[in-house]
Amino acid sequence: MSAGHQHTGERHDAAPTEDLVGIGFGPANLALAIAIEEHNAQCGPGRALRSVFTERQPEFGWHRGMLLAGATMQVSFLKDLATMRDPGSRFTFLRYLHERGRLADFINQKSFFPSRVEFHDYLRWCAGTVEQRVRYSRETYAVRPVRTDGRVDTLEVHTRPAGGGTPEDGTDETILRARNVIIGTGLRPRLPEGVATGPHIWHSRDLLFRSQEARAAARPHRRFVVLGAGQSAAETAEYLHREFPEAEICAVFTRYGYSPADDSPFANRIFDPSAVDDFYEAPDEVKQSLMDNHANTNYSVVDGELIDQLYRTVYQEKVAGTERLRILRTTELAGIEEIPDGVRVVVRSLTSGERHPLDCDAIVMATGYRSQDPRELLGPLADECLTDDRGRLRIGRDHRVATTERVGAGIYVQGAAAEHTHGITSSLLSTLAVRSGEICDALLLGLAGQDLLSGRADRAGGTVDTADGVAVPAP
């Protein structure tokens, strides 16, 4: 080892170098995995991408706690993981239906929107085809540079068994070497200041699991409070009202009522792949204007049919004189206190200022999610990442983080971390198919350039096969 070569893991020299290590295996990195799978199936010898993905869950799962009976997707099945990149792909939702023997039955529904349970099964079906590339039950806790004469062309991805621990306490650590990493760790639950989840304080992402525990308790249920005004909050209120017929459900939000999502055809064009180009090239003030003007297509809004259903329920209960679904509008959370077998929630009216205690079995925080800053994983590498004048990562159109010239290895990001550069679709399903092809192409071009610089011949030919099957000149 030369004096200029530094690394952080003892097993560095023994580990093979992957072309890509993906951190997290939700729908975004799953879409990328199948784009790579299809590229490898059609590329020439020596041009296959070597990839591994890490995932802390023991198996693929996407918002399992909100797979509510009857809940449907808010996005068309045609915006699956492959169709908009390649309608002939073997990973389309229609191909899934055909293999499951339900294609005709689905068509007869005359709907573009499958149930959330069915779409989750489709995602699992896709994940099963690439499971040999995924290290489940592994938590990635650090990405470290391997420096050779002052340059970083290789990265070390440090993983451990999900659940914590450190190498110092005997935890089994695995170090993966990579020429590129892509961080797609998803979102973290957002909670009010000073609030932590527990037996009687839930986040909506755990609704099914927590409600099953509550149902198993051998006592009558008094009341549930749901905090929030978005789709998850409305679905939570409807679910609890249906599943706990003896309990009162209090929906608490600062608005006057639930607001409908704008899913009109023209507004929906904000989710088109071409809209990502428009957003990326726009000045910062235009980006902010687009986000403000079209926030009602996605943020803190509810499907119109569900709003109508909840309103009918409230009205019919008023007629019957048994009001179990209570809408506490223009109201905020003022305090939470643990009590025996439950929690005391204090709410405050924004109009009158009056406070009211609500003793309940549980409060559900349907308060959304926040993004994880990729720099939390990067350690010393974070200092090599370039930022804009607001301290945000500079991210290329191909989702690669801009770095100093000392870094040749690629750092890519998916999800909400790229919203400030790529727009509202960054954390949504709408453009996953197209985006995965774009990132796959970028990886191939970047690797070909690295190979030319290093003198390697396996991917350094005159052209590079892209994920869409189009040959482009190598850098």
- Categorize the per-residue pLDDT at 163 as very low, low, confident or very high, splitting at 50, 70 and 90: confident
> What pLDDT is recorded for position 220?
82
Q: Is the pLDDT assigned to residue 339 strictly greater than 70?
A: yes
- Categorize the per-residue pLDDT at 449 as very low, low, confident or very high, splitting at 50, 70 and 90: confident
Q: Is the pLDDT assigned to residue 364 strictly greater than 60?
A: yes
Which tokens hold the place of 47? 């041009």
Q: List beta partners, residue 316.
A: none
Q: Is the pLDDT assigned to residue 186 strictly greater than 60?
A: yes
Tell me how far apart the alpha carbons of residues 473 and 448 are, in angstroms, rounded to a whole number: 10
Work out the average pLDDT over 408-426: 96
> What pLDDT is recorded for position 369?
93
**Cα of 428 vs its chain's centroid, Å:** 7
Of the ranges 5-19, 161-175, 203-217, which is most confident? 203-217
Tell me how far apart the alpha carbons of residues 156 and 144 are, in angstroms, rounded to a whole number: 5
- Categorize the per-residue pLDDT at 45 as very low, low, confident or very high, splitting at 50, 70 and 90: confident
pTM of the model: 0.91
> What would the pLDDT profile of 377-396 be if each residue is shown by its tens digit?
999 999 999 999 999 999 99
Mean pLDDT of the chain: 91
Work out the average pLDDT over 284-297: 96
Tell me how far apart the alpha carbons of residues 413 and 399 are, in angstroms, rounded to a whole number: 6
Q: Is the pLDDT assigned to residue 238 strictly greater than 90?
A: yes
Contact between residue 403 and residue 385 where contact means Cβ atoms under 8 Å apart: yes
> What pLDDT is recorded for position 171?
65
> What pLDDT is recorded for position 319?
98
| Dihedral angle of Cα 426, 401, 14, 55, to the nearest 10 degrees | -20
Contact between residue 465 and residue 42 where contact means Cβ atoms under 8 Å apart: yes
> What pLDDT is recorded for position 359?
97
> What would the pLDDT profile of 366-375 be if each residue is shown by its tens digit?
999 998 899 9
